Amino acid sequence: MPELPEVEVTRLGLTPLVNQKINQVIIRNYSLRWPISPNLENILINQVLMKLSRRGKYILAEFTSGTLIIHLGMSGRICITKKNERPKKHDHVDIIFGDSEKVVMRYRDPRRFGSIHWTERNPYEHKLIKNLGPEPLTEEFNAEYLYHKLKTKKQCIKNSIMDSHIVVGVGNIYASESLYYSGIKPNRASNKVLKREVSVLVKEIKRVISSAISKGGSSLNDFLDVNGENGYFQDEHKVYGREKEPCLKCRTPITQLKISQRSSFFCKKCQT
């Protein structure tokens, strides 16, 4: 599943489309996680893309009279192509910009767990977004805030930092990596994490996510940016996907365990 860094990399790749006008919309499959509005093709014609932002794993494409809220789901991807490039099997939506030299924003999603919503209201009040926690790279997400959220929770710390109501966008890969750098075992109870440890954890979450964005995300499960390029943060994974390989600090084999049906990776010696 594309996580926050991959979604942010996608958003950044789409910025050349800002201030461009939509020429045509082609919807080949309306059946995503939620059905696409049947009027979307007509609604978007001649609208200008004013702004691109992100909230959690949602891309917010602000147009003249409303906002597209796009989620990539498990396998979704947005790519930029030329109009004459033939669509592939799972290319469900084309949004075509420009008059003379047309550019296509193409939504591809083999598993169709993603979504595309149109709203003419404040997108931050949309039901999918309004209850999300703070962004991890903002000042609002700090040690005092996170410690307050964790001190009454008995669930494991990895589940807490992956809870989008506590903080958005810390997905499986980046939770595992941040906990490794923080020296915290992923299945430790949240209310057993000390305040000084929470302070380190917040710093590491911010550092890991910032680094992943700068390196184009992690190209696992075929993630590519809008131009078809791989990210390369996976080359820096210290624990994720490295079961039985030696810890890069102490040489202890990395352990894998399942937490809430997700694979989790950690070092038994470096994380307690």
- How far is residue 165's CA from residue 141's CA, in Å, rounded to a whole number? 12
Q: Would you please indicate which residues are annotated as catalytic (active-site) residues? A: 2-3, 57, 262
**Cα(20)–Cα(185) distance, rounded to whole angstroms?**
48
Contacts for 234 with CB less than 8 Å, ≥ 6 apart: 218, 219, 220, 240, 241
CA angle 263, 265, 269 (to 5 degrees): 150
- DSSP codes joined into one string, 127-192: TTTTT----TTSTTS-HHHHHHHHTT--SBHHHHHT-TTTSSS--HHHHHHHHHHHT--TTSBGGG
- N- to C-terminal Cα distance for the chain? 28
The span from the CA of 68 to the CA of 45, in Å, is 13
Strands of 91-97's sheet in order across? 22-27, 91-97, 103-108, 77-82
